[in-house]
Amino acid sequence: MSVKNKRVLSTVVYYTLAALALAMAGFFIYALIVRDMALWSKIVYFIWIGFVIGAVIFDIICTSAGEAKTISSVIIYVLSVLAIVMACIVYFVNAGVGGLATNFFNLFISIAMLSLMTTGYMIAMWCVGESLVEHATAAKKISEKKN
């Protein structure tokens, strides 16, 4: 596969993953609105989602410019760790001696899975974006050698 074809495929996959990350963030917002959770956890998750949306937009800008992917990777890493930490906090705050109550278990699983799926899409999006930047750099080097 030529570098040009790899770049086209990477571009399509990158923007698809960005759209999926934003869609999962939207589903997560909806789930938080309709679910009955503690107010503090809703507020923390809404703030987290705001940062996720900002990180996706920032990563798109960084990928388009071909720069600052390191900053984007640190932001995505921190948001990923925060998603895991928040899921653990919500679990331990609501868990009793025998684990989660039956009526809270489905809520916890849906909230934890939505946050972790959003994080997974962001990580995959960053990886493909990094590959896209590398393809653009390789294409630029090839064109410079021809000239």
Q: pLDDT averaged over the chain?
A: 87
Residue-level pLDDT at 74:
95
Tokens of 136: 């653009």
State mean pLDDT over 11-19: 94
Rounded distance between C-alpha atoms, residue 63 and residue 14, angstroms: 10
Count CB neighbours of 76 within 10 A.
22
> Of 71, 41, 37, nearest to 55 (Cα)?
71
Q: For residue range 62-117, what is the model confidence (pLDDT) as tens digits?
A: 998 888 788 999 999 999 999 999 988 888 887 766 666 666 777 888 888 999 99
Radius of gyration of the chain (CA): 19
- Concatenating the DSSP letter of every residue in 82-125 gives HHHHHHHHHHHHHEETTEE-HHHHHHHHHHHHHHHHHHHHHHHH
Q: Which of 7-11, 20-24, 114-118 has the lowest mean pLDDT?
A: 7-11
Model confidence at 13: pLDDT above 80: yes
Rounded distance between C-alpha atoms, residue 53 and residue 41, angstroms: 18
Residue-level pLDDT at 43:
93
Phi (first) and psi of residue 96, to 5 degrees: -100, -160
Phi (first) and psi of residue 46, to 5 degrees: -65, -40
The structure's pTM equals 0.85
Q: Which residues pair with 95 in a beta bridge?
A: 100
Count CB neighbours of 82 within 10 A.
17
Q: For residue range 83-96, what is the model confidence (pLDDT) as tens digits?
A: 999 988 888 887 76
